[in-house]
Chains A and B, each alone.
Chain A
Amino acid sequence: MTLSIPFERHRLDNGLRVILSPDRSVPVVATNLWYGVGSRNEPAGKTGFAHLFEHMMFQGSAHVPKNRHFELIERVGGSLNATTWFDRTNYFETVPSHELELTLWLESDRMGWMLPAIDQEKLDNQRDVVKNEKRQRYDNQPYGDWSERLQALVYPPEHPYHHTVIGSMEDIDAASLEDVASFFETFYVPNNAVLTIAGAIDPARALEQAKRWFGEIEPGAAVPPIPGDPELPSLIGETRRDHVVSDVPLPRVIMGFRAPPYSSDDFAVAEVARSLLGSGRASRLYRRLVRERRIAKGVVTYVYPLLSGAAMFLVWATGYPDGDPEALEAALSEEIAALARAEQAEIDRAIALLETDLVRSLERVAERADLLSMFELYFEDPDRVNRELDRLRAVQPEQVRAFTAERLGDDNRAVVVFEPGGTS
């Protein structure tokens, strides 16, 4: 099947890119903003700041008191949130379509006039909230530090993906109001952002509204280069290990490999390879390790779509209570190596799943808007949403075999093993 998600592309005088995607089938509209800043932009000593800043963006702006943003969106029956990741930060609202302008007012006010509303009390409050987020999602969870451990093995200390998005609590504690201001002035500028509006809109009118609310915001200077050294060899060069004995219920083996960056043509090969390996119950890992050998309770594969230097190919398996982590790791290695014999029929299955997964996600205007923002910010090419499937369909079995040989060997591997034991 061929996708034809419609969209228009515009650029305001201040550099803000605006994507408009009409779909009038449900009276709902999604407003979605991607800023070109994430944890990779944090220098040493400031880890976790991009995410803390995202929290501050909800603390009000010059014309919007604290909590009003949430109140107004909820009052009209909307949903909202924001997320911070390695390469970007996104903010989004979905509302009944007659309330589009409300979202444009709120988003433009914090893009243009956030600083006058910020004070120490709000910063202290959100610092506490973020610390509790870290405790809840990482510190007080079995396996909670897995990503920190894995990233530290896959990327060298000077690389921007070496540290996690949540960052260190010491750095969060050290954040000052001056840091908030300088971060805002450096990164939260219209020329470093993409605004997508998708749903029941009239594009001409939506463009006029976008200009009205965002047009008077002054552009900023070009965003500074990413700190540290984003360049790195395509391979880790060895197998690096971290063996953790801790209070976890089941053994778990997590492997990371450096992969071609998201911008590379070869990224599609990594995506297809990961699907063959671990997407669905007919995938190799599920069939062999979960169903036939019953050595794993569950398996996960994923490729982080990262831009700077190297993406990350992830494979993980959770064992049974008395299972031997070494045997589990050996079984994973065996199946990964066997990808060197990938067949066309498996690729067909993987493509069929990726196709319906993509169409399913596009049923929601919020997902549509998010993909369009991403493709514009990363590649200046929102039409990629309509061509994703072609990229994946073009992948040949010999490319998967070559990818396996080049990228998934012992010389490009980081392994984090969790073994039950420890405190209780």
Chain B
Amino acid sequence: MSAPDRTVAPPGGTLRPFDFPSVVRCTLPSGLDLRVAEVRRLPMVALNLFIRAGEAALGEERAGLAVLTADALEGGTKKRSGSDLAEAVERIGARISTHGGWEGTTIGLSCLAERLPEALTILSELLLDPAFPEDEVARVRDQQLATIRQRAMNPGSLATDTARARYFDPSVPYARSVDGSVASVGAATVAAMRGWVEAAFRPENGGLVVAGDVDPAEVESMVREHLGRWTGVPAVRADFTAEPASRERSVVLVHRPGAVQSELRVGHVGAPRSIPDYYPLSIANMVLGGMFTSRLNLNLREKNGFTYGVRSRFAFRSQAGPFQVSTAVGNDVTAPAVREIVRELEGIATDGPTEDEVAAARDYAAGVFGLHLQTTSQIADRVGQLVVFGLPDDHFDRYRDDVRSVTRAQAAESAARWIRPAEAQIVVVGDAEVVADPLRALELGPVEVEEG
């Protein structure tokens, strides 16, 4: 055997074709959009039910109700107590999760494929006949109030929550924490949850995705049996545009005496999922802060040693979610790190990424696609995104070609449109006595100090 040439990277083969699993789709008479992906690898199945009943449809006085209601679903049904329900789920090795988010409520289920009929029976009971026992509702309310307290005392989540409120106009739901406030959560009642389920938990505009070692026709008949009586259209709707709180750059410093590090968030209102330049913007963001070898990480971590890691992200939602750079840095380098972040935002917005950077990000996005489709849960989640954002059925079949067709000019144009450093809100959670003066000296905008 000859010794290999170590001086150059060995050439790869060609990217192997990878077909997104084929999805059988039908709409039940009840209005439920059912999509089944047959994936016969291991004897597993994953299920993802999306109901268009989310926090974005709730006013401030009811903030957190979608999250609470989702949590309380496992508190018991008209036939079984919460403990009996948990016992029934876990005896067959299943995991059921219920989750309230901005766009809607998601119920996830994962189990051995042979257990799907039993698991579906339990899931339909939990969805259609929840009992919301008084003590269980009190429990999830107390848990959520405790979570709100934990968020306020954790520097990272405190920074994120502070930043959100600086990005969005107070009338925009995204300005608040998805968990709601002490006042709104404290006021949530059994009646409010029942009313929410009655009005919002309806199959239309949502969908059920099943992926795994299953036969699509059999799944359809099971779903008809268990969820056939579930009908209707949600009587709630998110109705707002994501207006910013301000278009003037400013700095807010939340004072935590004695903090050994500063949590940083730099961002503004981002872009909705529906923008035509979704792929160019995603590529531009990867170059900025969406990969390990992004500009931000190579600068702040590998060059300067300011941080353990830094990333930038657009939260693509039905309306524009936040665009944000997040990191945590040492006290003494807080101001230099903020300066470098702003500089990188200016660089990408003004000049765009280079040809080579765009090529690298494109290749990354196209190559990593298959890595994220190994498990039944990953596949169910992907198909679920088609439901959530109303994307075309062939979206993922075309994904690799679409992402590979992004040009440098498109990425640069997108970055210039959606990344606006002059409007950035800069949030620092750290020790004001150490970091306030250096931050002022940056002259990036007015510096406001709040007590943490």
Contacts and interface: CB of A to CB of B under 8 A. Distances in A.
B375 A364 contact: yes
B374 A363 contact: yes
Contacts of A74: 291-293, 360, 364
A129 B307 contact: yes
A87 to B, nearest CB: 24
B153 A282 contact: no
Contact of A356 (B82, B95, B147): B95
Contacts, number: 235
Interface of B is mostly: mixed
Interface string B78-103: 00001100110111111100000000
Nearest to B74: A281
Given A78-B368, A249-B153, A356 B111 contact: yes
A147 to B, nearest CB: 17
18 contacts: A28-B370, A62-B6, A78-B367, A96-B12, A96-B367, A99-B12, A132-B308, A132-B328, A136-B328, A140-B261, A142-B150, A215-B1, A250-B150, A280-B90, A363-B376, A423-B258, A424-B257, A424-B452
B155 interface: yes
Interface string A124-137: 11111111110111
Interface of A: 1, 23, 25-28, 62-63, 66-67, 70-72, 74-79, 94-99, 101-102, 104-105, 109, 113, 124-133, 135-137, 139-142, 200, 208, 211-213, 215-216, 247-250, 280-282, 286-287, 290-292, 294, 297-298, 318, 320-321, 348-349, 352-353, 355-356, 359-360, 362-365, 423-424
Given A76-B367, A77-B367, A423-B258, A131 B302 contact: no
B377 interface: yes
What 7 A-B pairs are tightest by C-beta distance, nearest first? A77-B367, A128-B305, A98-B13, A352-B93, A281-B86, A363-B375, A356-B93
B111 A129 contact: no
Given A132-B305, A142-B153, A28 B371 contact: yes
B290 to A, nearest CB: 10
A67 B293 contact: yes
B191 interface: no
Contact of A71 (B95, B293, B373): B293
B110 A360 contact: yes
A16 to B, nearest CB: 15
B12 A102 contact: yes
B399 interface: no
Nearest to B143: A297
A70, A72, A248: which has the most chain B beta carbons within 10 Å?
A: A70
A187 B1 CA distance: 27
A79 B291 CA distance: 10
Interface string B334-370: 0000000000000000000000000010011111111
Contacts of B263: 140
B10 interface: yes
B261 A27 contact: no
A323 to B, nearest CB: 9
Interface stretch (B41-49, B200-208, B222-230, B406-414): B41-49
Contacts of B364: 74-77
B9 A102 contact: yes
A136 B308 contact: yes
B146 A297 contact: yes
- Interface of A, helix, strand, loop or mixed by DSSP: helix
B149 A250 contact: yes
A98 B93 contact: no
A124 B139 CA distance: 49
Contacts of B371: 28, 77-79, 94-96
Given A96-B15, A297-B142, A363-B41, A352 B302 contact: no
B3 interface: yes
Contacts of B376: 363
Given A75-B363, A77-B365, A105-B9, 20 more contacts: A26-B41, A26-B373, A74-B364, A75-B367, A76-B364, A77-B370, A98-B14, A125-B303, A128-B306, A213-B4, A281-B89, A282-B83, A294-B135, A298-B143, A352-B93, A353-B90, A356-B95, A359-B44, A360-B44, A360-B375
Interface string B369-403: 11101111100000000000000000000000000
Contacts of B146: 249-250, 297, 318, 320-321
B139 A290 contact: yes
B90 A282 contact: yes
Contacts of A104: 10
Contacts of A102: 9-10, 12
A287 B328 contact: no
